[in-house]
A and B are shown apart, each in its own frame.
Chain A
């Protein structure tokens, strides 16, 4: 696979541009992140090496080293992110596989269920889990009434609760990242393997699984990095030990006004996360993500690099072989016909379980919104539409809804445009220090949002963007760009460039090839990337509150202020309306797409 992609590189055919000039698609992202992320955030982070009087000091960093609490919290943060990634990937893979191998029609209607968690705000979702998983919650009551347990099980206020809440948020992201990659896998390869006598298990583990690796790899990175920044979910659903480093940073920023030390902690987190990223790149290899060119792009692969790449390849190979061996053993013990049936049943069961998990909070929120009582409860008290009336008759809620849609759409489009350009350059061109570029692109996901928010406020006050929608769109696009780059890179890495080559041989200009051949084929990846960008903005609270001083109302901001004393059923009503509207929009889009020739 590797050799093929290098020899048939279209860039190799049409390369009149000088190497530096060929990097122009990276220019927009460099300017954008440079101006609205690197510059303001670096300015804030320099506070960590200065005393209030302005002299240089290492005091903040010495403090981190001298007190074991910070390393301890960082270790917990990485541990929680690791488990979340593992659970999310294991949950997402069978769903993505089943969706990728289903017919287009079935896939699109099933897809809508996967997206359900996206449309229920993280505030509402976290609260729903608190009620569902509690001691007297619906799940414990069900377990007791079914006689599975005598006393309530501790599902929440511990690591379990944290992982439930976090993987619920991350599984859709993982599915949506893997799916476009899996969709580009040519089903004929599996058929060929079948024809050549491979068993079903063998075909999967030796043919399909390796080809899906770029998607898995991208999903791992996105879920892991995103999980590092979680703090509300672990704080509300976790126990005494689930303290995340972001929470400690926020305390320093907000409660102690010690921005120097907060900056030092942010640098500490960033450094640790990028170290993990670099190691991951060496061992598993972002090569799987950035196409073959990543390894080629390195002028002189270092010793560690080569060993790492070998090691990574060996690990993956061994994993595949092990699974194949287990599968073969299993298959031999079974008559051929039973295998197929059983395999399919297991896959469907896993699919149903994961989808059930994803829509569970929504199943709770919808009835709760029709309560006649004043609190969100399960089961709801009586029936009324008063909370819908509250929403629809409130200009505050309506304008917040409008703002959220407008800001999310605009920041999604900005991120999609510059992120896709960067993804093309990163997958297809030889770029020195590709890992470093990727690390920079991922950084907005690692630096705590409160740090970005404070940094942007200072920048915006000079640009007169404080309190403007433009400022908010830019801030949200900064957060969304990493998702776009990784998602599009993942889908491009499995894209068969011989199509482009064929088009250019037939006389199509590069632009025409891009527009008529490449983009339509990677469409699922582009849609996923836009949805990630959209939802990043749609669910964002910190930057929305900070850079506008609360002047531009968005849905999360409105929900936040509404749930101050307790969550009231208006939030459940809003969540239900969003859920229904977004789902209908997706169905309508799907319907129109199928009707158009």
Chain B
């Protein structure tokens, strides 16, 4: 599988990238007063920070700045930026011009009229997969929610949610999140509901199935970041998480295998807070990020799937096999239904919390 070389390269490259970014940022900052006086054009882009800053920096921010002269100020946002966007729009304090949000957060924000419509003209915008296209949001990357297991401790390799629920045939320590999202879907998949007939979710059936697995869940995880460590340290043998978090464990050398079967996918993408005075520049930047070759550039740092299929012309096959939108992986997957969740999240959180505490 992964060789030691594979393992060591990405972090090193990342760090070098990061140093380069840092150096460029300093250079840009020291010239800041001059260039901004001349150009006076800059936009603030908020992403989740950390590894995104090196991935998106190399793919989008730096080339865009170099080509257009529009300065990109990159800031790290909170894990869930919806309330900040609401505050920005309502208080008209535009500290962000472009922000990355998930498709399900877009639904929430769009329903409250907090996002600016985008400019969808041009061939590259047309090339994006349908799921990436919303009037006020453009998907930049696809993540997969899937199962993974330790190859050293699982005697028989599991390959489905049914296997995850089968504690006799697949003994081992299991972990699920303290959240109903994907867990309800997983329970229904384990109970025999086909992947393409999940929604609307049969909630009672899902909770009945979950009752079976509850006593066998060793760890209820609270953040995606935690799942990397749970697998890496061998705290559990099987869990559900997002593919990039599991990839981080694989990249650091843990004997872990992804299960692409029955994976559900979701998207992250760009949105503009409604009424941004720099909306025109922001739209220009977003359109720039639709390009396939540029999207390919972030996949080294971020194990996410580009939304422009042309990106795979530029991605090496050995990396592509870890990416959700690689044709091989993508064909068996179904999309998380954000509309269903948007309408039911509140009730589901309450019911799930009550179920957990029971």
A residues sitting closer than 8 Å to B (CB atoms) are 67-69, 72-73, 76, 127, 130-131, 134-137, 157, 235-236, 239-241, 243, 248, 251, 253-259, 373-375, 390, 393-396, 450, 454, 457-458, 460-462, 466-467, 545-546, 548-551, 557, 560-568
Contact = CB atoms under 8 A, between A and B. Distances in A.
Interface string B12-23: 000100110010
B272 to A, nearest CB: 14
A374 B245 contact: no
Contacts of B235: 134-136
B22 A396 contact: yes
A375 B252 contact: yes
What bracket does the count of chain B residues touching chain A fall in? 35 or more
Contacts of B3: none
B93 A461 contact: yes
Contacts of B51: 564-565
Given A393-B22, A461-B92, 19 more contacts: A69-B357, A131-B233, A157-B218, A240-B357, A256-B345, A257-B83, A375-B252, A390-B15, A390-B18, A450-B83, A454-B87, A460-B93, A466-B91, A550-B49, A561-B49, A563-B50, A564-B48, A564-B49, A566-B229
Contacts of A466: 91, 93, 95
B228 A546 contact: no
Contacts of B220: 157, 239-240
A561 B48 contact: yes
Contacts of A395: 22, 25-26, 29
22 contacts: A72-B354, A73-B357, A130-B229, A136-B234, A239-B220, A248-B353, A254-B78, A254-B79, A255-B82, A257-B82, A374-B11, A393-B22, A395-B25, A395-B26, A457-B84, A466-B93, A550-B76, A564-B49, A565-B51, A565-B245, A566-B225, A566-B252
Given A131-B229, A235-B223, A549-B88, A241 B357 contact: yes
Interface string B89-117: 01111011000000000001100100000
Contacts of B349: 251, 255-256
Given A461-B92, A549-B44, A373 B252 contact: yes
B80 A255 contact: yes
Contacts of B19: 390, 393-394
Nearest to A250: B80
B77 interface: yes
Contacts of A251: 349
Q: Quick one: which of A240, A467, A563 has the most chain B CB within 10 A? A: A240
A565 B88 contact: no
B226 interface: yes
B87 A564 contact: no
Nearest to A136: B234
B229 A551 contact: no
A374 B12 CA distance: 9
Interface of B: 7-8, 11, 15, 18-19, 22, 25-26, 29, 44, 46, 48-53, 73, 75-80, 82-84, 86-88, 90-93, 95-96, 108-109, 112, 173, 178, 214, 217-220, 222-223, 225-226, 228-229, 232-235, 244-245, 248-249, 251-253, 345-346, 349-350, 353-354, 356-357
B234 A257 contact: no
A390 B252 CA distance: 18
Q: Quick one: which of A127, A255, A259 has the most chain B CB within 10 A? A: A255
B162 to A, nearest CB: 23
Main SS class of interface, B: helix
Nearest to A568: B11
B222 A235 contact: yes
B229 A73 contact: no
A460 B87 CA distance: 11
Nearest to A457: B87
A556 to B, nearest CB: 11
A161 to B, nearest CB: 10
Nearest to A562: B50
Contacts of B26: 395
A135 B234 CA distance: 8
Contacts of B225: 563-567
A76 B358 CA distance: 12
B75 A550 contact: yes
Given A136-B233, A394-B22, A565 B228 contact: yes
Contacts of B234: 135-136
Contact of A236 (B48, B78, B226): B226
B153 to A, nearest CB: 11
A564 B75 CA distance: 14
Contacts of A257: 82-83, 86, 108-109, 112
B93 to A, nearest CB: 4
Contacts of A259: 83
Contacts of A131: 229, 233
A270 to B, nearest CB: 19
A69 B350 contact: yes
Contacts of A68: 354
Contact of A560 (B11, B22, B44, B49): B49
B274 to A, nearest CB: 14
A406 to B, nearest CB: 18
A253 B22 contact: no
Contact of A457 (B93, B232, B245): B93
A65 to B, nearest CB: 14
A564 B96 CA distance: 20
Q: Considering the complex of A and B, which 10 residue pairs feature the smallest CB-CB distances, nearest first?
A: A561-B49, A549-B95, A550-B75, A461-B91, A235-B222, A564-B50, A461-B93, A561-B76, A254-B80, A566-B228
B353 to A, nearest CB: 6
B229 A254 contact: no
Contacts of B46: 549-550
A449 to B, nearest CB: 12
B324 to A, nearest CB: 16
A557 B76 contact: yes
B167 to A, nearest CB: 17
Contacts of A235: 178, 222-223
A458 B90 contact: yes
B346 A258 contact: yes
Q: Quick one: which of A243, A557, A561 has the most chain B CB within 10 A? A: A561
Given A395-B22, A461-B93, A157 B86 contact: no
A551 B93 CA distance: 13
Contacts of B218: 157
A459 to B, nearest CB: 9
B82 A254 contact: yes
A561 B53 contact: yes
Contacts of B253: 373, 375
B108 A256 contact: yes
Given A135-B235, A235-B223, A240 B356 contact: yes
Contacts of B78: 254, 545-546
A566 B249 CA distance: 8
A564 B302 CA distance: 12
B317 to A, nearest CB: 23
A127 B229 CA distance: 9
Contacts of B228: 565-566
Contacts of A375: 232, 252-253
Contact of A546 (B29, B84, B229, B353): B84
A566 B248 contact: yes
A6 to B, nearest CB: 49
